[in-house]
């Protein structure tokens, strides 16, 4: 049996470990994320799993991504107001985001130290600490006319 790092059979085991019934569609979606190990939007994943012959619907892609997030297999990254990115890396880490190109990359958490964050109100727990370094090329922006400019 093929046991390469992100073979279908191996992925099926990972899904089971997270309490997810490994169907064909779910394995393909997991493979899109884990084989590349990149931040992908739902739309990109839909395109990837359907290249060649279509085999997974949009509804299933969204269902599955939400299920994966809920089960802790992947996480969401909220950096772009127009779409969510899905992140196969669930280790604590931070992000650098190019606001021009939309490129999103990881920052290793080990080197980063954050101090002085406030105590949480009682009865509250931390879901996570997001750090996003928003960057852009220093080159002057290709000016686009903006309606409503004074």
Partner DNA sequence: ATGCGAATTAGACACAGTCCAATTGCTGGA
Partner DNA sequence: TCCAGCAATTGGACTGTGTCTAATTCGCAT
d(CA 61, CA 106) in angstroms, rounded, equals 24
C-alpha dist (Å) from residue 117 to 31, 106, 113, 126, 139: 37, 22, 11, 12, 34
> Using the rule CB under 8 A, is 120 a contact of a copy of itself?
yes
Candidates 6-14, 29-37, 46-54, 78-86; binding stretch for a copy of itself (CB under 8 A): 78-86
d(CA 103, CA 110) in angstroms, rounded, equals 22
d(CA 10, CA 1) in angstroms, rounded, equals 10
User: Cβ 102 to a copy of itself, closest distance in Å?
Assistant: 13
89 binds, among Zn ion, DNA, a copy of itself, none (CB under 5 to 8 A by kind): Zn ion
Task: Give 52 or 123: the residue with its C-beta nearer to a copy of itself.
Answer: 123
42 binds, among DNA, Zn ion, a copy of itself, none (CB under 5 to 8 A by kind): DNA
d(CA 36, CA 64) in angstroms, rounded, equals 18
Sequence-distant (≥ 6) Cβ neighbours of residue 89 within 8 angstroms: 37, 75, 106
User: Cβ 113 to DNA, closest distance in Å?
Assistant: 31
Tell me which residues touch DNA (CB under 7 A): 21, 23-26, 41-43, 54-60, 62-64, 66, 81-84, 147-150
Residues that bind Zn ion (CB under 5 A): 87, 89, 106
């Amino acid at each position: 049996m093929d046991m390469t790092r992100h073979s279908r059979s191996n992925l099926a085991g990972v899904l089971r470990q997270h309490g997810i019934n490994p169907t064909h569609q779910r394995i393909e979606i997991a493979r899109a994320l884990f084989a590349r190990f990149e931040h992908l939007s739902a739309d990109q994943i839909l395109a990837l799993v359907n290249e060649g012959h279509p085999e997974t619907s949009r509804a299933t892609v969204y269902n599955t991504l939400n299920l994966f997030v809920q089960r802790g297999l992947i996480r969401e990254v909220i950096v772009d107001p127009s779409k969510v990115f899905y992140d196969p890396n669930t280790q604590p880490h931070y992000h650098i985001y190019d606001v021009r190109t939309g490129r999103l990359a990881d920052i290793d958490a080990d080197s980063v130290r954050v101090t002085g964050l406030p105590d949480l109100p009682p009865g509250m727990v931390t879901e996570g600490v997001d750090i996003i370094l928003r960057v852009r090329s220093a080159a002057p922006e290709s000016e686009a006319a903006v309606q409503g400019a004074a």
